[in-house]
Every structure is written in structure tokens, then in C-alpha cells.
């Protein structure tokens, strides 16, 4: 009883606590509105922290799972140059995952915990990586469309209110831009100077990747649960539909230049809005992929789990080495100090 009485604030204090909390939140929002960056040691509302952990972790997982569809083609790339470029791209994606897990760690969650959630099937990653890469043209389409969509979504994240995430995005966007160009260059080679079979392969890849790429931007604004609050906190700077439209407007002329057709009978330029209008997106497909029923969800998670298990000895060896280094410093450091 006595202890409980000490733990719970009296009636006067109880009303002061929410008031103090509201005042902190008001000051926090003022900082956001002034476009100040929020840094890891700054006070932040718990919901802001949780929103960032959710988004950054999903983003990190997407980069890691996103290595799989393209990794599938490293051994089959049509030339040494293509192979070297693809290896570098997939390696960049691994690096992006690592920067993003590090950014999430500044919010008080460990990389191990986040990876555990992914492997247990409790975390989301981008829907786009649950589609198969059937031909070499798919590698071109991924670079052109998937990385193109990623850039459209991620450039505004360089101005995200949370400092570590915004800074990680600057480097990521530079690399994504190179990835997009290498994809478009593959499509150019196939569609503009390739054989008839290669042009058909490029068209087939566009047919299969177009709609899933539009879905990458997330549900329509009317169904997006997080957008309004994330915009107030300046984590997001544009809504899902705004970014999707920017991507469509940029990509349709690129498809024309390739001589390929966008697989949408309703696609037309709208003079009134000065934007391309498209046919409806099949959101039931998106929901099915999110539920784990996409063409490759099981395969992707199976590959991640197998990679994690077969890497167990590497983690153990690294930990043993780190322990050994920690046990050694007395002699190591004094030796260094004496020598210098
Ligand atoms: N796939 O309220 P909403 C890459 C979820 S990697 C799966 O609009 P939010 C690349 C959403 O998480 C590309 N789930 O959410 C790598 C939420 O679920 P929960 C990854 C999706 O967060 C390798 C629910 O639907 N990019 O570029 O305001 C090779 C409601 O959505 C998807 C990023 O992660 C989806 N497509 O907006 C090549 C960028 N969309 O958490 C390329 C950072 C939505 O409530 N993330 N959901 O269970 C973002 O910008 C935002 O999180 C999103 C969604 C725009 C994706």
C-alpha cells in the first residue's frame, strides 16, 4: 500500500504529468515545423520513435530481401561486365540494409532483434520482392522501374525529420540513381538494339513489373493508415499517391523512348491535370502479397532463413574474435604505448 502510494502521483501531480507531456509534444512539433533535425538523444514522443523503427526496419529488410531476386542472375549475367555491375549493385543493397539497421539502432532497438522479427515472419518488407525474375530483362526492369520507384520515394526521405535516417538516405539515393541507370541501359540495349526476341523479352518484363512497381508506393491515400501523422512529423514529405503519380509521369516517356508499351489500356495524358491518368490498381493482389501469398514470399523467407542459419558460424567466429581482442588490450595497448 505504502509503496503504491509513493509510486502513483497525487491528484495534483497526476494532472500536471499529462500537461507536461503535452507541453513537450508541442515543443517537439515546433522543432519539426521549423525543419530542425531530431537527433537520437533528443526527447521524442514514443509514437514518433515507434513509427520510425517500423519504417526504417521495413526499409532495411526490403534492401536485404531485395538482394535475392537479382542475386539469382549473378551467375547467369550475359557478360563479364554485366556480372561485375550486378555484383556491385547487389553488394550496395546489402550496404543499404546495414546503414538502415544502424539508423534504427539509434532509436534503441538492436539489429539482432529486427532480423529476428523478419525471420519469424513478423516484419514487413517491400511487396515488390515477392515476384520472380524469370529472364535477364527482369534485371533491366528492376533497375529501371523498382529502383526508379525507390528513388522517387527516397529522395524526399533525405529531408526526413530524423537526422540519422535522413543522412543515411543521402548516400543510398546516390547509389540508387546509379542502379536505376544501369537498369535503363539494359532495357535500352534489349529494346533499341536487340533482336526481335530480345525486344519481346523487354516488353514481357515491363508487362510483369509495371503494376507491382506502382504498388510499391503503398496503399492509396484513402487507405493509408500512417501517412497523415507521418506527414505532420515530416517523416514523409509526400503522400503515397503523390509519389506514385510523379513516378508514372516520369516513367511513361521513358517507356516510349524504349519503344515499349505500358500494359494499361486506360493510360492517357490528362490535359486538365497535366498528369497521366491510369487504369485502376488491383489492390487485392497487393493485399495478397502482404499476407504472404505472393508468387515468391515463401521462397524469399526460406532463402533468408537458410542464409541466416548457414552464417551462424561466421557470427560465432566474429564474436569469439571480438572476445579475444577484448581480453588482450592490457598487453596490446601497453606494447603500442611503449612503442610510440
Ligand atoms: N510493401 O499507411 P501506409 C528498395 C504497408 S527497397 C509492403 O501507407 P507508410 C530496393 C505499411 O508498411 C524499397 N508493405 O504506410 C531494394 C503499413 O503496414 P504496417 C523499400 C507495404 O509507412 C533492393 C501498411 O502497408 N522502400 O528500394 O506510411 C533493390 C499501410 O501503409 C507497402 C522503403 O521502405 C509495400 N510496398 O507508407 C532495389 C521506403 N506499402 O507497418 C530497390 C521507406 C505499404 O502498418 N518506406 N505497406 O503493418 C516508406 O516510404 C513508407 O513506409 C511506405 C508506406 C511508402 C512504403
Say how many Å lie between the CA of residue 228 and the centre of ligand 1: 15
For the cut 50, the answer to whether the pLDDT of residue 165 exceeds it is yes
CA of 210 to the centre of ligand 1 (A): 17
The yes-or-no verdict on residue 339 having pLDDT over 70 is no
Does residue 182's CB lie within 6 angstroms of at least one atom of ligand 1?
no
Question: Would you state the pLDDT for residue 328?
Answer: 86
Grouping H, G, I as helix, E, B as strand and the rest as coil, residue 45 is coil
- Cα of 262 to ligand 1 centre, how many Å? 24
Q: CB–CB of 169/119 below 8 Å?
A: no
What does the pLDDT read at residue 330? 65
Three-state SS across 260-321?
CCCCCCCCEEECCCCEEECCCCCHHHHHHHHHHHCCCHHHHHHHHHHHHHHCHHHHHHHHHH
User: What's the full length of the chain, in residues?
Assistant: 340
204-222 confidence digits (pLDDT tens): 999 999 999 999 999 999 9
For the chain, give the mean pLDDT: 93
Three cell numbers written together for 49: 520513435
Is residue 92 lining ligand 1, measured as CB closer than 6 Å? no
| High-pLDDT (> 70) share of the chain, % | 91
Amino acid at each position: 500500500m505504502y509503496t503504491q502510494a509513493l509510486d502513483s502521483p497525487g491528484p495534483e501531480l497526476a494532472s500536471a504529468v499529462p500537461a507536461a507531456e503535452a507541453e513537450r509534444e508541442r515543443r517537439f512539433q515546433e522543432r519539426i515545423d521549423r525543419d530542425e533535425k531530431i537527433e537520437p538523444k533528443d526527447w521524442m514522443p514514443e509514437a514518433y520513435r515507434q513509427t520510425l523503427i517500423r519504417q526504417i526496419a521495413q526499409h532495411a529488410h526490403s534492401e536485404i530481401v531485395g538482394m535475392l531476386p537479382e542475386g539469382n542472375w549473378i551467375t547467369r549475367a550475359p557478360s563479364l561486365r554485366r556480372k561485375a555491375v550486378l555484383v556491385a549493385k547487389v553488394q550496395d543493397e546489402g550496404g543499404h540494409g546495414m546503414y538502415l539497421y544502424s539508423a534504427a539502432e539509434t532509436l534503441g532497438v538492436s539489429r539482432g532483434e529486427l532480423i529476428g522479427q523478419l525471420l519469424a515472419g513478423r516484419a514487413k518488407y517491400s511487396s515488390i520482392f515477392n515476384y520472380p525474375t524469370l529472364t535477364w530483362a527482369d534485371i533491366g526492369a528492376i533497375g529501371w522501374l523498382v529502383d526508379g520507384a525507390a528513388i522517387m520515394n527516397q529522395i524526399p526521405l533525405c529531408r526526413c525529420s530524423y537526422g540519422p535516417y535522413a543522412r543515411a538516405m543521402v548516400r543510398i539515393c546516390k547509389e540508387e540513381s546509379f542502379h536505376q541507370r544501369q537498369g535503363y541501359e539494359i532495357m535500352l540495349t534489349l529494346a533499341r538494339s536487340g533482336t526481335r526476341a530480345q525486344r519481346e523479352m523487354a516488353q514481357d518484363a515491363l508487362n510483369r513489373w509495371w503494376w507491382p512497381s506502382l504498388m510499391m508506393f503503398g496503399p492509396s491515400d484513402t487507405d493509408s493508415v500512417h501517412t497523415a501523422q507521418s506527414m505532420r512529423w515530416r517523416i514523409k514529405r509526400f503522400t503515397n499517391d503523390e509519389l506514385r503519380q510523379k513516378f508514372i509521369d516520369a516513367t511513361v516517356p521513358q517507356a516510349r523512348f524504349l519503344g515499349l508499351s505500358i500494359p494499361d489500356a486506360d493510360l492517357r495524358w490528362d490535359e486538365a491535370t497535366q498528369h497521366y491518368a491510369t487504369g485502376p490498381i488491383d489492390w487485392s493482389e497487393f493485399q495478397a502479397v502482404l499476407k504472404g501469398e505472393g508468387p515468391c514470399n515463401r521462397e524469399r523467407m526460406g532463402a533468408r532463413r537458410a542464409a541466416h542459419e548457414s552464417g551462424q558460424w561466421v557470427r560465432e567466429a566474429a564474436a569469439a574474435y571480438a572476445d579475444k581482442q577484448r581480453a588482450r588490450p592490457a598487453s596490446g595497448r601497453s606494447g603500442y604505448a611503449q612503442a610510440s
